[in-house]
Amino acid sequence: MNWRNYILAALTICISSEIGIASAQAPARVGEAAVVQNEVIRVSGTGGTQINVGDAVLRNETVRTGTASATRLVMIDSTNLSLGANSSITLDRTVFNDEHSYKDVTIRMTTGAFRFVTGHSDKNAYKITTGLATIGIRGTILDILSQRGRTVVVLQDGASRVCTLNFQCIELTQPGDTAIITSSANGKVTIQKSNSPPWTFASNCGATAGLCTTTEFAGTPTITPAVVDDPTGMLCGR
C-alpha cells in the first residue's frame, strides 16, 4: 500500500469511528407516538416535554400520561403499546435485531393501565415487568393493570407466562385467563389464576379514538452502527 492509499484508509477509519461514537452516544429512536390525547409527557429529570403524534420514542426514556389522557405507541417492530390515563412506562432495554425487529426488549410498566400487542420480533425477545411481576410473551395481546400492591394480567389472545419476583409462575393459555398478583402489608406476595377478569383495558378504548387499534411502524428507526476499532486513537490523533 502506498502512502496515498494509507492516508485515505486512515481517514476513512477516523470518519467512520467518529460517526459510530456519535451514534452510540445519541439516544436510539425505537418507536413513535401514533395516538396522543391530552397530556402525554416525555419525562426528563424533574420535568418533561409534551409528546405529539409522530414524535419519536427513544431508548431508555419514560413516557407518562396525565389525567383524562392516553397514548398508543408503535415500536419499530410494529408492537403496539396503549396507555390509559395516569400511566407510566420505561423502555428499559432495546437491542435491535435489524431495522424492523428486536433481539431483546424490556418494557417496565410502572403504574397504570396498558394493552400490549406483539409485533414482528421473536416472541422470546420481549420482557415486560411491573413492580410485582415479570411477564413472558408468546404471540400475545395482553391487558395489564399495574397498581401499588397489585398487578392484573389478562390474556386476550395468544399465551403468556406470568411470574412473581420470587418465581411463582402461572400459564395463561385461553382468552380471559387472568393472573392476579398481590402484595400484603407484611410483604407477602401471592399469585392467583382466574377465568373471570376483574378488569380489562377495554374500558379505556371508547374514550380515545384509535387507542385500541393496531398499526404498522411508519417511521425510520435509529440503528447504531459498529464503531471501527482504533483503541489507541493513534490513527485519528486522539
Which pLDDT tens digit goes with each residue over 159-206? 999 999 999 999 999 999 999 999 999 989 999 999 999 999 999 999
Quick one: DSSP state of residue 78? -
pLDDT in tens, 94-151: 776 666 787 888 899 999 999 999 998 988 888 999 999 999 998 789 999 999 999 9
| pTM score | 0.81
d(CA 132, CA 114): 15
3-state secondary structure of 229: coil
pLDDT of residue 22: 36
Residue 233 has pLDDT above 90, yes or no: no
Half-sphere exposure of 73 (CA within 13 A, CB side): 32
Per-residue confidence (pLDDT) for residue 180, from 0 to 100: 98
What DSSP assignment string belongs to 6-74?
A: HHHHHHHHHHHHHHHHHHHHSPPEEEEEEEEES-EEEEETTEEEE--TT-EEETT-EEEE-TT-EEEEE
**Composition of the chain by helix, strand, coil, percent to 5:** 15, 45, 40
Domains of the chain with CATH codes: 28-205 (2.60.120.1440)
Q: Do 133 and 152 meet the contact criterion of CB atoms below 8 Å apart?
A: no
Q: Determine the length of the chain.
A: 238
Would the pLDDT of 16 be above 60? no
Confidence of residue 27 (pLDDT cuts 50, 70, 90): low
Residue 94 and residue 129 in contact, taking contact as beta carbons nearer than 8 Å: no
Q: Where are the alpha helices (DSSP H) in 102-207?
A: 202-205
Write out the three cell numbers for 28: 436510539
Q: What angle do CA 84, 89, 92 make, to 5 degrees?
A: 160
Q: Which of 77, 78, 85 is nearest to 36 (CA)?
A: 85
